[in-house]
Amino acid sequence: MKKIVKSTIIFLIFALTLIGVAGCGKATGAKDKIKVAATSVPHAEILEYIKPELEKKGITLEITVTDDYNVHNRALAEKEVDANFFQHLPYLEEQINEFNYDIQEFGKIHIEPLGVYSKKVTSLTELPDGATISIPNDPTNEARALALLHRNGLIEMNDLNHLSATIIDIKSNPKNFKFQEIDASMLSRTLDDVDAAVINTNFALAASLNPSNDALAIEDADSPYVNVLTIRKGDENHKELQILKEVLMSDLVKDFINEKYKGAIVPVF
């Protein structure tokens, strides 16, 4: 009988211990973890900068970095990450329309003005007849690049409001420019081989180009191509994501962007 009683007591103690562990939830000091996909510059740099602030608020941030635009939205939709931070709003809208992703914008953070760069000329007026210009090949950024060339008098587009325009939508090309449609992440590598290239600011910065000093033409701050934080629909009330958004849209980040990128990237919040 004593052995039975002793065994019963040991079992009860073990069971109560399990209940206690389950009831406590996270151990004291434990942190919530969120995973965000981003391109390297400036998005991952901004996220790295806010890691300590998120730690103070009980959140551990894991950043997955790739410069392949085709990866991030799929990873978010398939729940491989909790959010992504790499794209402008028209690109997000185009991706949702094309792939029916159940994702949404969760905060407008900054603008990365698209610029025209060259190692061959110092002014757009110096571009010769038949010059070769490389431009992004993804739908929204190609239209955006062509609109920038239109606004600087190099070509004339049929419709500037057509956000999926391509080179077939060019109405007038008086100097017979030739266009190479290239993956956005590779455009800076074409500069030795073309007369000019239209490059996204994040990839320009990664190639040690200074948009403020090196661009022959650049979008103004009124550009509609605002870079956004993106989450899955239905996740907008998650505490960790709300805190991430709050920190990304804080004066801390605004000051960091202004000081580090010196006008090459413009905060919009």
The encoded tokens of residue 219 equal 């979008």
The region, left, alpha or beta by phi > 0 then psi within -120 to 50, assigned to residue 107 is left
Residues 52 and 95 grouped into a single domain? yes
Residues 129 and 214 grouped into a single domain? yes
The encoded tokens of residue 116 equal 């025209």
Which residues, at least 6 apart from 247, have a Cβ–Cβ distance to it below 8 Å?
Answer: 50, 53, 54, 57, 253
> Global pTM?
0.76
Write the secondary structure of 216-246 as one string of H (helix), E (strand) and C (coil): CEECCCCCCCEEEEEEECCCCCCHHHHHHHH
Residues 231 and 139 grouped into a single domain? no
Residues 72 and 195 grouped into a single domain? no
Residues 158 and 139 grouped into a single domain? yes
pLDDT in tens, 229-269: 999 999 999 999 999 999 999 999 999 999 999 888 989 99
Q: Give CA–CA dist 220/60, Å, rounded.
A: 36
Q: What is the dihedral of CA 219, 224, 229, 235, to 10 degrees?
A: -170
Residues 109 and 187 grouped into a single domain? no
Q: Give CA–CA dist 186/68, Å, rounded.
A: 10
pLDDT in tens, 81-126: 999 999 999 999 999 999 999 999 999 999 988 999 999 999 999 9
**CATH number of the domain encompassing residue 123:** 3.40.190.10
Please check whether residue 25 lies inside any domain of the structure: no
pLDDT of residue 161: 85
Please check whether residue 26 lies inside any domain of the structure: no
Give DSSP secondary structure letters for 41-57. Answer: IIIIHHHHHHHHHHHHT
**Contact 185/203 with Cβ under 8 angstroms?**
yes
Range of the domain at 74: 32-113+224-267
Number of domains in the chain: 2
Percent of the chain with pLDDT over 90: 78
